[in-house]
Amino acid sequence: MAKTHFSGPVLFSSARASLEGLNIAAWPDQVVYMDDFTGVALDSTNDWTVVKDSSASAAILADTIGGFVKLSSQATTDNDGASIQGNEIFGLPSTAGEKLYFEARFSMSDADQMDLFIGLCENFATNPENCLAASNRIGFQIDDGDATPHLISESGDSETDTTLAAANDFADDTNVTVSFVATKGTSTDTVQYYINRSLVGTHTTNIPTANMAAAAMEISGDASGTKSMSIDYILVAQDRGVSY
């Protein structure tokens, strides 16, 4: 009896395009990092660098189903916030056809009165808002005063910024899943962006090739209440020698 052999990863049941080709278990042809924030405390020594303003905070939420980390600004303080960033170990693969995946699920306390970025970027220091000034980035951004997400690809300080339609606006205290898949092309690199695993846009310009880190940042947009971002999980995966 002939044996069946599989040449690639097992795909998710009912796989959607945003996750197509992503493995579901240990597979040496992809390097995978996922933090589900299920620990007792945020590991700011080995896993994450926390950059925040003095009275802002970054902490695992206790007794929360699924595990969340909460980034919080100081109460009643404008332009105050917190961020987390990992190690610069991810980037667009150098072999045509190979991919870089990112996905995160999070909510915002006040979607149109905050600045926010989540995705991959170069490491930054001193202030959380310096994430927005990083020279190389791919991800999703909210600008204070508008709940409409921006799709960002930035390479060497040259940025492509696509503002989505209002139908994609984020809502207060509502979890949203954001994803992107960056693909190394033979002549043109691409990034496809997804919200709740539905394709919302594609960039073919200013796709960075630099090493980047998983990152999330929130900044309060006014002095009313306490602005925060609660992140359920962050996942990054990068192909290395995959044959699709």
Banded pLDDT at 241 (limits 50, 70, 90)? confident
Question: Which pTM does this prediction carry?
Answer: 0.90
Residue 175 has pLDDT above 70, yes or no: yes
> For residue 112, what are the contacts with CB-CB under 8 A and spacing of at least 6?
144, 145, 146, 147, 221
The partner residues of 239 in beta bridges, in order of sequence, read: 30
- Does residue 84 contact residue 215 with C-beta atoms inside 8 Å? yes
Output the pLDDT for position 168: 98
Q: Which tokens in the block code for residue 163?
A: 């503002």
Banded pLDDT at 89 (limits 50, 70, 90)? very high
Q: CATH no. for residue 92?
A: 2.60.120.200
Span 180-186, mean pLDDT?
97
pLDDT-above-70 percentage for the chain: 90
Q: Which domain holds residue 106?
A: 30-239
Exposure string over 112-133, b if 16+ CB within 10 A, otherwise e: bbbbbbbbbbbbbeebbbebbe
Span 13-35, mean pLDDT?
75
Does some domain include residue 148? yes
Output the pLDDT for position 20: 72
Banded pLDDT at 14 (limits 50, 70, 90)? low
Question: For all residues of the chain together, what is the average pLDDT?
Answer: 92
Does some domain include residue 130? yes
Does some domain include residue 3? no
Output the pLDDT for position 26: 72
Banded pLDDT at 25 (limits 50, 70, 90)? low
Does some domain include residue 12? no
Banded pLDDT at 6 (limits 50, 70, 90)? very low
Output the pLDDT for position 15: 56
> For residue 144, what are the contacts with CB-CB under 8 A and spacing of at least 6?
112, 113, 114, 115, 219, 221, 222
- Does residue 82 contact residue 71 with C-beta atoms inside 8 Å? yes
User: Phi and psi for 83 in degrees, rounded to 5?
Assistant: -150, 160
Does some domain include residue 1? no
CA-closest candidate to residue 124, choices 94, 174, 148, 88: 88
Domain count, the chain: 1
The amino acid at 119:
G
pLDDT-above-90 percentage for the chain: 86
Does some domain include residue 17? no
Output the pLDDT for position 5: 46
pLDDT per residue over 120-160, tens digit each? 999 999 999 999 999 999 999 999 999 999 999 999 999 99
Does some domain include residue 233? yes
Does some domain include residue 196? yes
Banded pLDDT at 28 (limits 50, 70, 90)? confident
The strand pair at 114-121 and 137-142 is best described as antiparallel
Output the pLDDT for position 2: 53
Please report which helix (H) or strand (E) contains residue 34, including its range.
strand 30-35
Output the pLDDT for position 1: 47
